[in-house]
Amino acid sequence: MNENVYAKLTQDIGDGNRPFLLCEGGREIAYRAFDEETARFANALIALGVTPGDRVAAQVQKSPEALMLYFATLRVGAAFLPLNTAYTARELRYFLGDAEPVLMVCNPADREGINSLAQETGVKQVETLGPDGDGSLMERVSSQSPEFETVAREGDDLAAILYTSGTTGRSKGAMLTHRNLTSNAEALKEFWRFTSDDRLLHALPIFHTHGLFTATNTLMLAGGSMVFLPRFDAERVIELLGQATSMMAVPTFYSRLLQQPDFTRERVSHMRVFISGSAPLSSEIYAEFKERTGYAILERYGMTETGMNTSNPYDGDRRSGTVGLPLPGVEIRIADPETGEPLPQGNVGMIEIRGPNVFKGYWRMPEKTKEEMRADGFFVSGDLGLLDDRGYVHIVGREKDLIITGGFNVYPAEVEAAIDALPGVVESAVIGVAHPDFGEGVTAVVAALSAEDVDEDDILFALGSELAGFKQPKRVFVVDALPRNSMGKIQKNELRERFKDAYSGG
């Protein structure tokens, strides 16, 4: 049996005339037409010398053709390597040298610089793909046959490599298999009730698990369609929500929608579900969204190495501040970070994950893989959390975010929740900074509605009755906005560097 993820996702599509992509400018691409175009792409890849097991790298703008390249890479049995469009030449040099793709696809305007990097790193071929379906790769694709038999792959064969953000040490390439991607799509389709009647509003980037795998694979498996936007624009999203039944987004998207006066209950009354992930959803956004629209955002928990692990239920209690229950086929346990021994319910420890969604390991890093994979198959997530009495998973923070001050452990999420509840605070990030007396000083960085609304003394006074003394920040810094990456995650490593001298007088 062919376990190629593309074969699995398309085996029950049915009517090939059903739309898959609804694009800007009125362009509509049906399933049959999309399949034929991925066949042309696949034939072009074969002509360029791509063989099963090879890597195909892509740093291109979001477009229907970019999705076709992804699926074509799967169809020929190669592994897809999507690269963030914001990566610099220095970062790309590392990824290309590490993954050794046989083909790099880039934007037409970037070809000269990429050619130079390709020569340095041994990449054999560079082609271009523009956001409007232009470029040298498209010239090759246009002359190819629309027929292609998807290459048979085993479930454990490599389908994609996604590099972690590399906030500590060098980036690691997470190896995702055909079984990983298929199992996650199957679990999400079932858990989130996606059918061929669904239209997902897709405004996410497609160089990341969320937009590429969670959204695209799940909708294709369900036979649904996607309102496919090149990027997030709050006004345009509001205009197009009338065509959609569902939306997947990062918390920042929901925050920006709530800033629009015409984002009203009437505009979304027909929607089936709003899903959030890639960064924690604050209780304030959750509550305001529910009050404005009547919908409880469905929050879930995933990682580059595992895809999606847990989700708040489709039917039942969507509990703010939790990431819900394990998905079908996924096991979650809480373990002692040092010994790996399972901890009693309600205790804070390391979240460990086992299931068909868990990756194969880190590309060319067997020792790192061994460090983070238990002998019994559980993956050490690096996230601290607990399981409550109803089986819901609560994320407390990353292990590296744990602050040890004066011998006491402080979990940033608890302090952040107390600060975020204060008047005038938009959001906060709590970090540990070197302190001469306590080892680490609890330090808060706060984004405020305006500098006049919030100051350090007011926050410290307010927290005096909310938190134990050792949990209270030693310093509070008020800023205009917190730094985020392309998926909306707050970059605490940047804050640690910026405020590293807070207690040294430097």
- Please tell me the predicted confidence (pLDDT) of residue 401: 80
The rounded distance, in Å, linking the Cα atoms of 276 and 237 is: 15
**Counting every residue, how long is the chain?**
506
Predicted confidence at residue 215, as pLDDT, reads 98
Give the pLDDT confidence score for residue 168 in this predicted structure.
45
What is d(CA 299, CA 296) in angstroms, rounded to the nearest whole number?
A: 9
The Cα–Cα gap between 146 and 32 comes to 10
* Single-letter code of the amino acid located at 459: I
- List residues bridging with 10 in a β-sheet: none
Residues 179, 181, 185, 187, CA torsion sign: positive
Question: What dihedral angle (degrees, nearest 10) is formed by the CA atoms of 260, 264, 269, 274?
Answer: 30
**In sequence order, what are the beta bridge partners of 334?**
351
- Asked if residues 102 and 123 have their Cβ atoms less than 8 Å apart, the reply is yes
- Do residues 9 and 219 make contact, with C-beta atoms less than 8 angstroms apart? no
pLDDT along the chain (506 residues), means of 10: 96 89 97 98 98 98 98 98 89 94 98 97 97 97 98 98 69 96 98 98 95 98 98 97 96 92 97 93 90 98 96 95 96 94 96 98 96 95 95 87 83 89 92 89 91 88 87 94 88 94 81
pLDDT computed for residue 402 by the predictor = 83
pLDDT value at residue 165: 58
Residue pair 108/135 in contact (Cβ under 8 Å)? The answer is yes
- Residue 18: which of 40, 33, 38 has the closest Cα? 33
Q: For the chain, what percentages of helix, strand and coil (3-state, to nearest 5) are there?
A: 35, 25, 40
pLDDT for 506: 52
For the chain, which domains are there?
5-191 (3.40.50.12780), 232-398 (3.40.50.12780), 402-498 (3.30.300.30)
**pLDDT value at position 439?**
86
Q: Residue 395: which of 277, 250, 275 has the closest Cα?
A: 277
